[in-house]
Structure 1
Amino acid sequence: MSTPNTLVVGTRKSNLALIQTHMVADALASANEGTAFPVVDMTTAGDRNQTTPLHLLSPYNSTTPAKSLWTDELESALLDGRMDLLVHSCKDVPTTIRQGCEIGALLERHDPRDAFVVKAGLHYKTIDELPAGAVVGTGSVRRVAQLSRAYPHLKFADMRGNLNTRLGKLDAEDSPFAALILAVSGMTRVGMQDRITSPLGAPALMHAVGQGALAVEIRTGDAKARAALAPLGHWPSEWRVGAERGLLRVLEGGCSVPVGVETELTEVDAATAPHYPAGTFAPLTTSSATLHFSGVTSEPIPASGMPALRARRAALDLKACVTSPDGSRHVLYEPGPVVVSSYQEAERWGEDVARQLRTLGAGEILEEIEVQRKQREKELQAEGEAARAAALALQAQA
């Protein structure tokens, strides 16, 4: 729990999560002299389940996405005051944040691409060199879907666990895997960039929403946390990721949905007319979401009164795709750049792009995936009930 000169930073108990969180805590300490930022970790439900493929993970209920398996328990600690800030890999954060919580800042984004990592001792330099039938490991249905389309001669198998575990499975003498697909940013942050054989990008593989970005979650309107984070937020990253998350929210996607994106943002003259006309969004107030101030002020948001605001314009180019899990169907939408003047406009553009994607055929793909997930959920439930019945029968016989 925080004290006047302390803000507790929470995270998952994984090596990558701890490395990322200590990076953020160190940056916070450097920017906030006299305040301590101790790190506290916990094991989440998503960490405890390392066997179920990601695309089969079920939500807690019909309105809560599977991604909450990695955030729900941390958010409970945030809301009850045990923690004051949470550090997440942004791609693991549900697009609808729990009531009472908000994203306070995104740090400058690292390389969002995926990485081709070949088994130690093999000579392949790119995924294009792999022979027919080679097995590639990944726990991501997005990666399997897009790569199955680009490389139908390869085989893809589920692979979960932390980075060390996955690399150990890859390099084992009896391993069936020729390579893995991992995130460039995660490999770099844990100091394993030397294992990256080559990066993967469009057109073969568009990256995940939010990949490469770190998000810091806080209690809604927490003035102390807002002030501490003010020097760390990187507005170009926030606007880019905001557009991606807006898109994913409308597509009702998560870590189990094959949605790929690429975004570019280029600042332009502040007098350029934005895509959305004046008055589209309500004026900012001190109760507005923290990210709504992204890029338009460099000052902390005060408890009362408004910080000085500035005009800003940027050309946002968002490309997105939805691919069926077997790679047989692929919907790509490239609307071209639009000029936006705020985080809200970037987010709205992502939502608009998602709606167009749905009309182009992505909706049918996503609906089929949801039907398959629910069917598998019923099968797993039936298997569990059968196992419990068998256990009770054995107890009765004893």
Structure 2
Amino acid sequence: MSSTVTTPLRTIRIGSRKSQLALVQTYWVQEQLQKHFPDRTFEVQTMSTHGDKILDVALSKIGDKGLFTKELELGMLSNDIDFAVHSLKDLPTNLPDGLVLGVVTERENPADALVVHEKHKDKQIDTLPEGAVVGTSSLRRLAQLRYHFPHLAFKDIRGNLNTRLAKLDEGEYDAIILAVAGLQRLGMGDRIHQTLPPEVSLHAVGQGALGIECRAGDTEVLELLKAIEHIPTAQRCYAERSFLRKLEGGCQVPIGVNTHLDGETLTLTGIVASVDGKQLVKDTLSGEASQAEKLGIELAERMRQQGAQEILEAIFAEIQRG
């Protein structure tokens, strides 16, 4: 009588940053996978990234390539973790050899949100008084808001969501700009005073979506991850990421996007703005959703010829000067 030996299923180790938002997102992914594969074990391992440790310097001053991802990527390459959950907007468009963007999950609202101090609760972004201090750590938001509202004052703000909200409530800022998705995921949607329309602020590439990065050859993990992939979101984000990649912009360059899917037609709008808000190039292109990456490249090339190249070169020169 022969006995069958069953090989135990491999435990899948999920890497995450330690921030509150990162953990909420990672535990959501863990929960979804557990529902799809109840016989598997998914465990979360946390680590601090370079971007989490430096909280007193503007993001644009400390380099942006892999600021919130490098340590997690090293963990995957050394087989300490099997995949990592990222806010897709933090994931560089060029990944290290051996790693891939496995799947993109369904997107939350990708827009930016205005959060105001109590004394401005009757105001909107366009009715804030002259000189009102608006906090943001994003050059993309800063450039667009300076372009539309040159009468406002802008001040860098760092720290996690609770820290930023505390600084606002204590009166250090009149208003701050945050991602709608982050506030909603942390159950703080009631702090959203105004969702900024795309005419005012195009969002970051990948904003509102989660990107799951894993080893390129790990077919077992790639197969499991397919269960939580959201194709319409992926198509939109692939177009946005190829647009950004073609313009060679990291997360700290004033590049904004907006995407819309209508059946099989994908529409991509992009902007490139100077940090002082005095120059802004904007254009829109539509094409087949199945050709999302090609669409992003085409729009980037068109905008380069419309003046985006000169704006970006000036920004890169300024960053190199420090």
Gaps in structure 1 of 5+ consecutive residues: 59-65, 268-313, 377-398
Please report the RMSD computed on the Cα atoms of aligned residues, expressed in angstroms.
Answer: 1.1
Higher relative contact order, structure no. (Cα contacts within 8 Å, ≥ 6 residues apart): 2
Find the partner of 1:31 among 26, 30, 36: 36
* Residue pairs, 1:183-332, within 5 angstroms: 183-267=179-263, 314-332=264-282
Asked if the contact 2:120/2:128 (under 8 Å) is kept, the reply is no
Residues 289-318 of structure 1, C-alpha deviations (whole Å, 9 max, x = no match): xxxxxxxxxxxxxxxxxxxxxxxxx10100
Question: Does 2:303 align with 1:357?
Answer: yes
Residues 21-72 of structure 1, C-alpha deviations (whole Å, 9 max, x = no match): 00011001111121111111100111111122122222xxxxxxx2312111
Residues 132-186 of structure 1, C-alpha deviations (whole Å, 9 max, x = no match): 11000000011010001111110110001100010111111xx331000000000
- Give the superposition deviation at 1:255: 1.5
Query: Within 2, Cα distance between the matches of 1:340 and 1:4?
Result: 37
Comparing both structures, which one devotes a greater share of its residues to strand? 2
Query: Within 1, Cα distance between the matches of 2:287 and 2:101?
Result: 25
Query: Residue 380 of structure 1 corresponds to which residue in structure 2?
Result: none
- % identical equivalent positions: 45
Gaps in structure 2 of 5+ consecutive residues: 1-7
Query: Residue 124 of structure 1 corresponds to which residue in structure 2?
Result: 122
Query: Residue 338 of structure 1 corresponds to which residue in structure 2?
Result: 287
- Give the superposition deviation at 1:206: 0.6
Query: Within 2, Cα distance between the matches of 1:220 and 1:202?
Result: 35
- Give the superposition deviation at 1:4: 2.6
Query: Residue 46 of structure 1 corresponds to which residue in structure 2?
Result: 51
Name segments (4+ residues, structure 1) moved above 6 Å: none
Query: Within 1, Cα distance between the matches of 2:108 and 2:97?
Result: 28
Partner-residue secondary structure (3-state), 1:124: coil
Rg comparison, structure with higher value: 1
Query: Residue 95 of structure 2 corresponds to which residue in structure 1?
Result: 97
Query: Within 2, Cα distance between the matches of 1:97 and 1:201?
Result: 31
Query: Residue 388 of structure 1 corresponds to which residue in structure 2?
Result: none
Residues 66-120 of structure 1, C-alpha deviations (whole Å, 9 max, x = no match): 2312111111101111101100000000000111000111110010000000013
Asked if the contact 2:12/2:43 (under 8 Å) is kept, the reply is yes
Structure 2 length as normaliser, TM-score? 0.95
- Give the superposition deviation at 1:340: 3.6
Query: Within 1, Cα distance between the matches of 2:125 and 2:289?
Result: 37
Distance 1:340 1:191, change over 3 A: closer
- Give the superposition deviation at 1:326: 0.8
Question: Does 2:136 align with 1:138?
Answer: yes
Find the partner of 2:312 among 366, 371, 380: 366
Find the partner of 1:8 among 1, 8, 13: 13
Query: Within 2, Cα distance between the matches of 1:369 and 1:55?
Result: 11
Matched residue pairs, number? Answer: 315
Query: Residue 22 of structure 1 corresponds to which residue in structure 2?
Result: 27
* Residue pairs, 1:168-179, within 5 angstroms: 168-172=166-170, 175-179=171-175
Q: Which amino acid aligns with 1:120?
A: E
